[in-house]
Amino acid sequence: MSGLDKRRTFWPGKERRENINQHVLKRSWTELNEKIETPRKIDIAHSTSRISLPVHIAKLDKSPWQDYVRLLNICRGGQITVAYSSSRSQKLVAISEIPNCSREQLRALRPALHENIVGFTAAYFLDPSIYLVYELMPVSLIGILNTPLGPLQVEEIATVCQSVFRGIHFVHEQLGVMIGDLTAETVLVARNGVVKLANIGKVALAGSEKTLRRDVDAAGLILVRMLEPDTGMLFPKLLQLQRPSSCDANARDLIAGLNLLSTEDILKLRFSKKKL
């Protein structure tokens, strides 16, 4: 037996490529590590969330319209211009203009990647504005809530809630800034169903570090809007359920504890772990 055959783990996907008998598969490293070396249960909501990764962001001192062609202006997580690349790919993107910026801010812009944040791939400086090129997201949470298809199911609400708090946790811990403008309008949904927070590039440029708790309260208001749409519309600043007995008990506990819990603690709650 070769040295590789003695390994207790397998490389993901190897069983399909080499037609290994499914009944004798070696366990994955994560399963083995959790069972043998780490007896306590790993928190799924926290451990599956991506951390900051090295990402290359093109920083260009020119007009973005040298590389992109405008299509239309829309409001999706804020005012954006939908455009397509003038290269052969003709990829659709969302371009956001941030006025009154400097080259120093462009140089200081920190790239980061997270599954629950709308990623930006390039930044252009055309005095006095910075233009950020984002991935184009097809729909916002408010667009989903305003459809006549009825309220979201508890599992769907929990998935959105978990994604929002993961995004907040990343921004607070990795970027050290406050999102500020966090509403159902700035929570976007990708074609594959992944929930992402918008305008993080703008937040990183602004660099506001105060009152981080405001983001947690804002996420709570979004949760109230999903659980009780009428309450969220009539009392948009009320962080309280009007019919708590008709809502999921774990969701009630989350809202009741928002003032005392950190984002990390919230992600450990039972409601935040519900899955579709």
pLDDT of residue 55: 57
36-62 pLDDT, tens per residue? 333 332 232 333 444 444 457 889 999
pLDDT of residue 211: 73
Answer yes or no: do 80 and 167 share one domain: no
**Mean pLDDT of the region 85-91:** 92
pLDDT of residue 11: 32
250-274 pLDDT, tens per residue? 999 999 888 888 899 999 988 887 7
pLDDT of residue 9: 38
Q: How confident is the model at residue 116 (pLDDT cuts 50, 70, 90)?
A: very high
On whether residue 124 sits in a domain, the answer given is yes
pLDDT of residue 31: 41
Question: Which of the listed residues 78, 113, 135 is the one where a domain comes to its end?
Answer: 135
94-105 pLDDT, tens per residue? 999 999 999 988
pLDDT of residue 111: 76
Question: Which of the listed residues 135, 151, 182 is the one where a domain comes to its end?
Answer: 135
Query: In the predicted model, what is the mean pLDDT of the chain?
Result: 80
Pick the more confident residue, 56 or 84. 84
**Mean pLDDT of the region 182-199:** 94
Q: CB of 185 within 8 A of CB of 212? A: no
Answer yes or no: do 143 and 261 share one domain: yes
pLDDT of residue 202: 87
For the cut 80, the answer to whether the pLDDT of residue 113 exceeds it is: yes
Answer yes or no: do 260 and 143 share one domain: yes
On whether residue 80 sits in a domain, the answer given is yes
Range(s) of the domain holding residue 111: 58-135
pLDDT of residue 203: 86
On whether residue 41 sits in a domain, the answer given is no
Answer yes or no: do 126 and 80 share one domain: yes
CATH of the domain at 89: 3.30.200.20
Pick the more confident residue, 210 or 38. 210
219-237 pLDDT, tens per residue? 999 999 999 999 998 999 9
Answer yes or no: do 203 and 263 share one domain: yes
For the cut 50, the answer to whether the pLDDT of residue 112 exceeds it is: yes
Sheet hosting strand 187-189, strand order edge to edge? 139-140, 187-189, 195-197
Answer yes or no: do 211 and 227 share one domain: yes
On whether residue 177 sits in a domain, the answer given is yes
On whether residue 214 sits in a domain, the answer given is yes
pLDDT of residue 224: 95
119-163 pLDDT, tens per residue? 898 999 999 999 999 999 999 999 999 887 778 889 999 999 999
pLDDT of residue 210: 64
Question: Which of the listed residues 116, 135, 154 is the one where a domain comes to its end?
Answer: 135
For the cut 80, the answer to whether the pLDDT of residue 164 exceeds it is: yes
| Total count of residues recorded for the chain | 276
Answer yes or no: do 181 and 112 share one domain: no
When divided into structural domains, the chain yields a total of: 2
Answer yes or no: do 129 and 149 share one domain: no
For the cut 70, the answer to whether the pLDDT of residue 22 exceeds it is: no
On whether residue 90 sits in a domain, the answer given is yes
